[in-house]
Amino acid sequence: MGDRFVVVPVDGGGDAAEHSGSVVAQTTRLTGGDGGEEEPEVEEDPVFEPQDPNVAVPILKYNREPNKYGDGVPKENSPFINNTDNDKSNSYDGTNMALFEEEMDSNPMVSSLLDKLANYTNLTQGAQEHEEADDDEGSKKKAVKSPQMGTFMGVYLPCLQNILGVILFLRLTWIVGTAGILESLAIVGLCCSCTMLTAISMSAIATNGVVPAGGSYYMISRSLGPEFGGAVGLCFYLGTTFAGSMYILGTIEILLTYIVPKAAIFVAEKKEDEGEALLNNMRVYGTCCLTLMSVVVFVGVKYVNKLALVFLACVILSILAIYAGVIKTIFEPPDFPVCMLGNRTLQNQNFDKCLKVDTIGNLTTTTQLYKLFCNGPESNATCNEYFLNNNVTQIQGIPGLISGVISENMWSEYGPLGMLVENKKLSSVGGSDPTQDIYLPYVVNDIASFFTLLVGIYFPSVTGIMAGSNRSGDLRDAQRSIPVGTILAIFTTSIIYFTCVVLFGACIEGVLLRDKFGDSVKGNLVIGTLSWPSPWVIVIGSFFSCCGAGLQSLTGAPRLLQAIARDGIVPFLQVFGHGKANGEPTWALLLTGAICEIGILIASLDAVAPILSMFFLMCYLFVNLACALQTLLRTPNWRPRFKYYHWALSFLGMSLCLALMFISSWYYAIVAMVIAGCIYKYIEYRGAEKEWGDGIRGLSLNAARFALIRLEEAPPHTKNWRPQCLVLLNLDSDQAVKHPRLLSFTSQLKAGKGLTIVGNVLEGTFLTKDAEAKKAEQNIKSSMTAERTKGFCHVVVSSNLRDGVSHLIQSAGLGGMKHNTVLMAWPGTWKQSNDTQSWKNFIETIRETTSAHQALLVAKNVDSFPTNQERLGEGTIDVWWVVHDGGLLMLLPFLLRQHKVWRKCKMRIFTVAQMDDNSIQMKKDLQTFLYHLRLNAEVEVVEMHDNDISAFTYEKTLVMEQRSQMLKQMQLSKTEREREAQLIHDRNTASHSMNDKSETLPDRVHMTWTKEKLFTERNRNRECNSNLAMRDLFNMKPEWGSLNQTNVRRMHTAIKLNEVVVNKSQGAHLVLLNMPGPPKNRGGDENYMEFLEVLLEGLNRVLLVRGGGREVITIYS
């Protein structure tokens, strides 16, 4: 605020002294100190009076100068323009609105809002603020005056100046002569229709709010998002830069061809070398001209702006001279004879008279023309056969408007490189050697000509329609002036082009129209021969016009690049956002000069024009797309003041731009699209994320809504099933992610496909934990970016972790786009006495996912999992398929091996056979099943024999139960402890009495993988010798007899299965194992954790998998 408001002393009077106390108090609150921080508020004292009533009282005045710091980009998410945080600290005194006084900082009074909008001044853009910085060196800046430019001076004339230019003066006559009047009208009509439709779309966008510096780049980026904005903005920058090259080449062509031809450094000794010599001269002089113009722009850009009216006057005077010359041809056509040999046009720069022999008195002598076609001046010299067979005649190059030549110029005269320019109505006798014609002074085509080439060459003559939107800061009423001025300028220039095409075809002989450089009229500019009062009016006017256009391109292009760099969407361009102390874009100017030099080295105006046509057409295409998109989406903020637009017109303009790109040059069009696509992808992956409320974001929302509604219709088919993950992360006390490798594993499993939701729960209330939740979300997003995990972050604040996780499992996702798999890390600290809740929450999460019919993946030792940068060598992913719960165990290794981290790993599948199973047949069946699943894996069937329960198992179970009782007792009160002790004593007594019965203990323990085997196990008769063995075992340690036999059997299973898995898979890169479910009786939860710990003991990387109750893999196509 300190830069926007200044304290201005006012001579104290009665009124000033009377209110000085309140003024000083308000000043203190509003200015907020030097650094923008809030100062302690000064209490307002109603009886405060200054000691000296004559002392000047400071008052607050709004300063409309640009902020000295930063890039001055307005905060677009605020209703205020150029809003700053300190602007919100408005003082409020009064009782009428006391109900709202606590919210005044964030929700200001309507009167305050209107006052800010009324005081807003959109500063002059472009180079004008830099001029003022130069003028104000060391002195106090003066307030910038309000913009006063109207439609005519602010939009109409700048657009005219930018549209009319080098192509009109140097190439339009050649286009008319080559394409004919009808096809030339088609070319002009196509290009002018394209720009008119684009102007309508641009008017709608430009009147939908304030357009700050950046012009077309700003409009596209804010309408289509940073990716499209950056890509098209850089294309528009390249187009503007190559336009500078084209104008400089036009300047040099006029200089060397029409003003001072003798200044050429490279002179062709042979006619066939003239083209190459001209290009080399263009390169040398063009480089010098570019250097000079760059220095002028760097040193004195204000002089460029001040000369703009001079350059505009040159353009207007030149066009008026053309129309005046056309009118004069009706009464007195100018005398510009064209010398013809037969029907061929001759270059008459090297001879004075259009005669073979000349009679001076009684003496007949050969002419200079004779010497050009013969090997000597003698009358008996050997001459070119065509020269001998045909007569030399003269025709008028400009027969006049009413001569009827228009009928001859209606049709096209395309031809290849080197084709002779001929007049078909004149007689001609053949006999020449075509291979020798290139060495003779004929006028020939310097390039191959065809319709599409002419479109690409002509299109730059209709560009420049953005000049008005780029100057929106200078306009009194930009939202009215931009549409009216731009459309009127396009309409005016279109009329000029259409009339010029018809008038050129009606006034000028066809062979002269096709003579690009005016060689047949002694090197005069063809359009200059038509002008009145002198050809030099056009020559000088077009020379200064091209100079001015080149200077303006070199002025505008660096500022456009600076605007893109300051937006921060393209990281490698940030250096070009800096400049001199006054903001002059020095580095951007250097880059612009370097790119411009590329166009200069091409050296041909006809070759450079299609290049910049591509970039401008791409820019116009996206302007039309932006308007159409905003119109169809009907976003609430789309309220343009310009009402004469329609989405169909925008789509027509977009289609026309695309068609013109490929008509002009299909390979240039592809190159331009590839450049834009590369920039788009670069910004998407590496650029800064910007939220500009763009149309692409709105389109994405509509597409997402449509897709979600379609997904809601039915659950996904098994063939479309893929793990849509909810990743439960843990954070430390600093809100940092504890296990970032879990995110790495997620990205390896997903490979960017499907849904990923990363969730976390904070304990507390949302009102008190809001800041921590935002910090946690930011940290998680940073970790996701670092681990290349694409997905969404969801931080929930809940009164306890258990409820928070439950809420995430139930409500994460939207519609049909919900998670079907939960991924979490193994609670490694569950055995610690101070962390009893971790394993309880873990088991409850398992139960919740099972109840929700969701799959569960638990990663043990997750910190040892590979990062995305690692590449695992030859190794295996081992799958232990113990029970079938939908085939998720089969699918996960396949998905992992799609990622480059696991690509070299082989898949092995182990399954368990028991005594009653045929292991050989099981292996064959499993191989067949995998073949139908199209999975490549090694298969191995592991036989697990029935063994007696070992003493180690009983000891392990005993330790587990004793620890479980200890944990329970630590959480009970004294009375509850006594009651629990009694219950334990009763249960132990009952267990001892049960040992005397014959059915107490089974003879052997089966691993019950199916219901049938479970029933067989329960109904099996116990043998007497087994009971005797058990009694002997219990006699060794009597306390074993009190153990829960279900726990003993489960511990036995865990130990035996662990032995097998460790034996087979200890060296595997990853082990996937069926996760047994928690007990239905919650009293055994702590024992369940111990079972899992024993099951996984000795294994490095383990992924426990629990299916969601549905098939996720199928053999069918």
The gap from C-alpha 740 to its chain's centroid, in whole angstroms, comes to: 28
Compute the Cα dihedral for 238, 471, 205, 685 and give only its sign.
positive
Quickly list DSSP for 158-174: HHHHHHSSHHHHHTHHH
Percentage of the residues of the chain whose pLDDT score is greater than 70? 73
Are 949 and 1048 in contact, with CB atoms under 8 Å apart?
A: yes
Q: Residue 228 has what pLDDT?
A: 79
Rounded CA-CA distance 420/423 in Å is: 10
Rounded CA-CA distance 179/938 in Å is: 72
Rounded CA-CA distance 1002/677 in Å is: 72
Tell me the residue type at 66. Answer: P
DSSP state of 255: I
Half-sphere exposure of 115 (CA within 13 A, CB side): 10
Q: Residue 492 has what pLDDT?
A: 94
Q: Residue 986 has what pLDDT?
A: 59
- Mode of pairing for the β-strands spanning 855-860 and 1102-1106: antiparallel
Give the H or E element holding residue 762.
Answer: strand 756-763
Q: What are the tokens at 1088?
A: 């369940």
Q: What are the tokens at 83?
A: 């809003």
User: Cis link prior to 533 (omega < 30° from 0)?
Assistant: yes
Are 714 and 599 in contact, with CB atoms under 8 Å apart?
A: no
Are 1075 and 856 in contact, with CB atoms under 8 Å apart?
A: yes
Rounded CA-CA distance 200/623 in Å is: 10
Q: Which of 9, 2, 4, 3 is nearest to 24 (CA)?
A: 9
Rounded CA-CA distance 426/392 in Å is: 11
Rounded CA-CA distance 702/235 in Å is: 28
Q: Residue 662 has what pLDDT?
A: 93
Q: How many CB atoms lie within 10 A of CB 1088?
A: 20
Q: How many CB atoms lie within 10 A of CB 771?
A: 8
Q: Which strand ranges, in their side-by-side order, compose the sheet holding 821-825?
A: 792-798, 756-763, 725-728, 821-825, 855-860, 1102-1106, 1070-1074, 875-881, 905-913, 938-943
Are 942 and 1064 in contact, with CB atoms under 8 Å apart?
A: yes
Are 1112 and 888 in contact, with CB atoms under 8 Å apart?
A: yes
Tokens 């490929």, residue located: 662
Q: Residue 26 has what pLDDT?
A: 41
Per DSSP, the three-state class of 437 is helix
Rounded CA-CA distance 118/102 in Å is: 25
- Mode of pairing for the β-strands spanning 938-943 and 905-913: parallel
**Helix pair angle (1085-1095, 1045-1065), 10° resolution:** 20
Are 611 and 459 in contact, with CB atoms under 8 Å apart?
A: no
φ and ψ at residue 946, rounded to 5 degrees: -75, 125
Q: Which of 391, 456, 393 is nearest to 429 (CA)?
A: 391
**Helix pair angle (586-602, 274-299), 10° resolution:** 170
Rounded CA-CA distance 914/749 in Å is: 33
Q: Residue 688 has what pLDDT?
A: 58
Give me the count of residues in the chain: 1117
Instruction: Write the pLDDT tens digit of every residue in 166-210.
Output: 899 999 999 999 999 999 999 999 999 999 999 999 888 888 877
Q: Which of 233, 202, 211, 248 is nearest to 475 (CA)?
A: 211
Q: Residue 458 has what pLDDT?
A: 94
Rounded CA-CA distance 52/75 in Å is: 43
Tokens 């299973």, residue located: 1053
Are 1060 and 944 in contact, with CB atoms under 8 Å apart?
A: yes
The pTM assigned to this predicted structure is: 0.68
Counting runs of H as helices and runs of E as strands, what totals does the chain give? 38, 17
Q: Residue 56 has what pLDDT?
A: 44
Quickly list DSSP for 135-159: HTTTSPPPPPPPP-B-HIIIIIHHH
Q: Residue 500 has what pLDDT?
A: 94
Tell me the residue type at 220. Answer: I
Half-sphere exposure of 1094 (CA within 13 A, CB side): 25
Rounded CA-CA distance 166/248 in Å is: 10
Rounded CA-CA distance 714/586 in Å is: 60
Q: Which of 724, 744, 728 is nearest to 838 (CA)?
A: 728
Q: What are the tokens at 633?
A: 């989406």
Are 942 and 912 in contact, with CB atoms under 8 Å apart?
A: yes
Q: What are the tokens at 299?
A: 């040193």
Are 967 and 836 in contact, with CB atoms under 8 Å apart?
A: yes
Q: Residue 461 has what pLDDT?
A: 92
Per DSSP, the three-state class of 756 is strand
Q: Which of 52, 57, 63, 1 is nearest to 24 (CA)?
A: 57
Tell me the residue type at 600. Answer: I
Helix-strand-coil percent breakdown of the chain, rounded to 5?
Answer: 55, 10, 35
Quickly list DSSP for 335-398: --EEEEETTEEB--SS-SSS-SEEEETTEEEE-HHHHHHBSSSSTTS-B-HHHHHS-EEEEES-
Rounded CA-CA distance 985/93 in Å is: 76
φ and ψ at residue 1070, rounded to 5 degrees: -155, 140
Rounded CA-CA distance 425/305 in Å is: 51
Instruction: Write the pLDDT tens digit of every residue in 80-111.
Output: 444 444 444 444 455 555 555 555 565 665 65
Instruction: Write the pLDDT tens digit of every residue in 278-307.
Output: 889 999 999 999 999 999 888 877 777 777
Are 152 and 485 in contact, with CB atoms under 8 Å apart?
A: yes
Per DSSP, the three-state class of 558 is helix
- The list of the chain residues with pLDDT below 50 reads 1-92, 117, 119-144, 948-949, 951, 973-975, 991-1011, 1013-1036, 1038-1041
Are 1073 and 860 in contact, with CB atoms under 8 Å apart?
A: no
